[in-house]
């Protein structure tokens, strides 16, 4: 086991990034034109990186498995993007955003990276406004902000309930401009199935054309992954069905360490599971917690409709347990609190695995304000509700419509039913301060890396990290590496390393098609998801994790003996695509359980039942586990742990308190 060097620049925290930028080696414009960079993924992290690198002069190839970069999963983000601009004049600052992020991640993130993220956050908003992203504005024309969990200031910029879509259209426009100028070659419907390493450096990828089935070799002086998270290891999650870990897992098997895989985020406000044949879950934005109050009946198994339960018989349990933050506690805290109430018998709905998210009180409050503005200072309740509903509709209309379409219930009249579900993954490929992995020349950005969120991500910080990495961090740091690659001529793709990598991919495809078993890929994915959710989900314990590792190893053997992949390799074959992804999820699932078993503490989204306070909160062990767990692949079911010690010089490490 070795200690990892994260290459954090020396000096005072607030000056590290400034000094780095002013002293980092540069590549002159003429040399940039001869350097080729491969970007895998075209969501916020990938599209922003590809567009920016091309604008700087590099030759860029960008790959995505969707039919258009516009369909990247970043489009699904709803609630907003954080930035420390202090438009609300409520005391926000770069330091406060930095501190909230470190605390929200339960003191398990790297100080230098998080401070850099907080520093560049304000630039992101300016960039997006310049692109024409229609962020919400106040009456006077200034950009509006709303609250998100884990903070006591309003720093979340938003575009109704479709912030991710609008930000992605901005990044997509920047990317397509470079495509139009011939500076980016865009490869849609292509999936990366391996990385090519030559003399220890990443030098290209093997990609499969998903329409024709053809395998392709692509050279790059450097390779950048912006391929998103691995939440679909649980089968049911808020991720798009296509979201997967394959690119990240392939580079892991070629030498890139995988960090903190057990850090997964459960989002507290999802539409509950409705049946066994459901394929994904739908998120209700955290922004709804601005105006929605979460409660359960005080009586167990209360059969009454929510409208029939009087106010004094309702338990607003977040407001009761966490008075300082109330409904705006961080996601891991809110999720565990919902699970605790449901496990204790206070759940609602047919499944009893749900709690209420109720907008009535704030609808009435908004209505009273609107009536006052119109000169009516004593409005009746009906007037308040009518006027208030219009305000709620303006703020959250598309989210309410989505809920109504999925559940058949009108959330303006009856409270939403919500329950926690898998949403985001804080773990990912280990990267240093430069966003470079343990394979030189291979970079990883956005949700695919582990770097900025510790053990729990605060809401509205995913979009912030993806765009920060792509627009403002990687374009500086990659130059440090590429400045030493100017003399490297493009390596022909008939090089033995390319041939060998392609042959390995082809052998795997042939194996899938030759098994001809009796069970579908989805059959195995659902079984894996069940194991992961039950034993490595919202709560974990030694016995369950030990069982899960054995069950996953057995599942893997059965998968490779009995999976049925119909069709052929040289055609459009979605089942073959899924087979690759599920094979990787099975291996990742095992490592997640190994990591969760090794981490004998509770922190953020990693909740070991053996390690909790008397009040049922996460209990950290800073003496023994204040490190990033970075795992090296050694072979089937074999992983070696490397530690990156976490040192906090600028904040006081303490038990998280949202009370």
Instruction: Provide the pLDDT for residue 1.
Output: 60
Over the stretch 312-363, which tens digit does the pLDDT of each residue have?
999 999 999 999 999 999 999 999 999 999 999 999 999 999 999 999 999 9
Coil vs helix vs strand at 377: coil
Contact residues for 117 (Cβ-Cβ < 8 A; gap 6+)? 98, 101, 452, 464, 465, 468
CA-CA distance, 209 to 191, in Å (whole number)?
A: 7
108 phi-psi bin (left φ>0, alpha ψ -120 to 50, beta other): alpha
Q: Decide if 237 contacts 420 (C-beta within 8 A).
A: no
331 classed as catalytic: yes
In degrees, rounded to 5, the angle at the alpha carbon of residue 18 between the alpha carbons of residues 16 and 22 is 115
Q: pLDDT at position 454, please?
A: 98
Active-site residue, from 146, 289, 321, 331: 331
Q: What is the pLDDT of residue 276?
A: 83
Which domains occur in the chain, in start order?
Answer: 269-422 (3.90.700.10), 494-625 (1.20.58.100)
CA 225 to chain centre: 14
Q: Residue 657: how many CB atoms within 10 A of its CB? A: 10
Find all residues with CB under 8 Å of 375, minimum gap 6, and list them: none
* Distance from the first to the final alpha carbon of the chain: 39
The pair of structure tokens assigned to 538 is 């919202």
Q: What pairs with residue 355 in β-bridges?
A: 418
* Complete DSSP assignment for 235-294: SSSSS-TT--SHHHHHHHHTT--EE-TT-EEEEEEEPPP--TT-----B--GGGGGT-EE
357 three-state secondary structure: strand
Among 343, 377, 381, residue whose Cα is nearest residue 364:
381
Q: Which residues pair with 207 in a beta bridge?
A: 192, 216
pLDDT, one tens digit per residue, over 158-209 is 999 999 999 999 999 999 999 999 999 999 999 999 999 999 999 999 999 9
Q: Provide long-range contacts, Cβ within 8 A and 24+ apart, for 131-135.
A: 131/170, 131/171, 131/173, 131/174, 132/170, 132/173, 133/159, 133/166, 133/167, 133/169, 133/170, 134/159, 134/166, 135/159, 135/163, 135/166
pLDDT at res. 2: 64
Instruction: List the chain residues with pLDDT less than 70.
Output: 1-2
Eight-class DSSP state of 458: P
The pLDDT, as a whole number, for residue 600 is 98
Instruction: Say what the pLDDT of residue 348 is.
Output: 97
The token pair that represents 107 in the structure block: 């003191």
The number of beta carbons lying within 10 Å of the beta carbon of residue 621 is 14
CA atoms of 513 and 166, how far apart (whole Å): 40
Cβ–Cβ < 8 Å for 575, 245 = no
Q: Do the Cβ atoms of 607 and 539 come closer than 8 Å?
A: yes
The structure's pTM equals 0.98
Query: How many Å apart are CA 293 and CA 304, to the nearest integer?
Result: 19
pLDDT of residue 129: 96
Distance CA 624, CA 635 (A): 27
pLDDT, position 235: 97
Mean pLDDT of the chain: 97
């Amino acid at each position: 086991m070795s200690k990892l060097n994260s290459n954090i620049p020396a000096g005072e925290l607030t000056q590290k990034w400034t000094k780095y930028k002013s002293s980092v080696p540069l590549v002159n414009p003429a040399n940039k034109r001869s350097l080729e960079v491969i970007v895998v993924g075209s969501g916020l992290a990938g599209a922003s990186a590809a567009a920016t690198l091309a604008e700087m002069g590099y030759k860029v190839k960008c790959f995505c498995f969707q039919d258009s970069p516009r369909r990247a999963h970043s489009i699904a983000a709803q609630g907003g993007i954080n930035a420390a601009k202090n438009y609300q004049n409520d005391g926000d600052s770069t330091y406060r955003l930095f501190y909230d992020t470190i605390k929200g991640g339960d003191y398990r993130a790297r100080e230098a990276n998080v401070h850099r993220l907080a520093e560049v956050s304000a630039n992101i908003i300016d960039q997006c406004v310049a692109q024409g992203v229609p962020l919400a504005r106040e009456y006077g024309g200034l950009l509006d902000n709303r609250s998100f969990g884990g903070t006591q200031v309003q720093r979340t910029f938003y575009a109704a309930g479709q912030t991710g879509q609008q930000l992605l259209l901005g990044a997509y426009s920047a990317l397509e401009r470079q495509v139009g100028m011939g500076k980016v070659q865009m490869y849609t419907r292509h999936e990366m199935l391996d990385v090519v390493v030559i003399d220890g450096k990443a030098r290209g990828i093997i990609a499969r054309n998903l329409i024709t089935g053809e395998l392709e070799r692509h050279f790059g002086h450097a390779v950048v992954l912006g391929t998103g998270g691995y939440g679909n290891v649980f089968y049911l999650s808020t991720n798009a069905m296509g979201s997967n870990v394959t690119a990240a897992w392939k580079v892991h098997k070629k030498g890139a360490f995988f960090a903190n895989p057990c850090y997964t985020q459960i989002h507290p406000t999802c539409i509950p599971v409705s049946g066994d044949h459901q394929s994904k879950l739908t998120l209700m934005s955290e922004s709804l917690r601005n105006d929605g109050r979460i409660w359960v009946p005080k009586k167990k198994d209360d059969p009454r409709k929510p409208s029939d339960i009087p106010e004094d018989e309702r338990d607003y349990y977040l407001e009761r347990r966490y008075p300082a933050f109330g409904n705006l506690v961080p996601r891991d805290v809110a999720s565990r609190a919902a699970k605790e109430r449901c496990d204790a018998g206070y759940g609602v709905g047919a499944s009893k695995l749900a709690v209420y998210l109720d907008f009535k009180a704030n609808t009435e409050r908004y209505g009273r304000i609107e009536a006052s503005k119109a000169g009516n200072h004593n409005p009746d309740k009906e007037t308040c509700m009518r006027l208030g509903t219009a305000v709620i509709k303006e703020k959250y209309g598309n989210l309410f419509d989505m809920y109504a379409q999925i559940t058949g219930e009108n959330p303006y009249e009856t409270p939403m039913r919500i329950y926690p579900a898998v949403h985001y993954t804080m773990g990912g490929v280990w990267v240093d301060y430069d966003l470079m992995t343990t394979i030189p020349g291979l970079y990883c950005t956005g949700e695919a890396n582990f770097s900025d969120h510790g053990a729990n991500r605060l809401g509205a910080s995913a979009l912030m990290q993806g765009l920060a990495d792509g627009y403002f961090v990687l374009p500086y740091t990659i130059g440090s590496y590429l400045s030493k690659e100017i003399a490297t001529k493009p390596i022909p793709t008939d090089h033995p390393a390319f041939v060998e990598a392609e042959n390995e991919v082809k052998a795997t495809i042939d194996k899938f098609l030759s098994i001809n078993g009796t069970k579908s890929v989805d059959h195995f994915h659902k079984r894996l998801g069940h194991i992961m959710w039950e034993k490595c989900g919202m709560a974990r314990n030694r016995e369950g994790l030990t069982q899960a590792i054995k069950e996953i190893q057995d599942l893997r053997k059965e998968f490779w003996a009995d999976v049925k992949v119909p069709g052929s390799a040289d055609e459009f074959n979605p089942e073959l695509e899924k087979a690759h992804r599920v094979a990787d999820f099975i291996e990742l699932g095992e490592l997640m359980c190994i990591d969760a078993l090794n981490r004998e503490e509770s922190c953020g989204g990693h909740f070991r039942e053996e390690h909790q306070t008397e009040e049922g909160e996460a209990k950290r062990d800073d003496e023994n586990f204040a490190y990033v767990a970075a795992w090296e692949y050694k072979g089937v079911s074999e992983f070696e742990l490397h530690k990156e010690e976490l040192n906090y010089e600028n904040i006081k490490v303490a038990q998280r308190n949202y009370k």
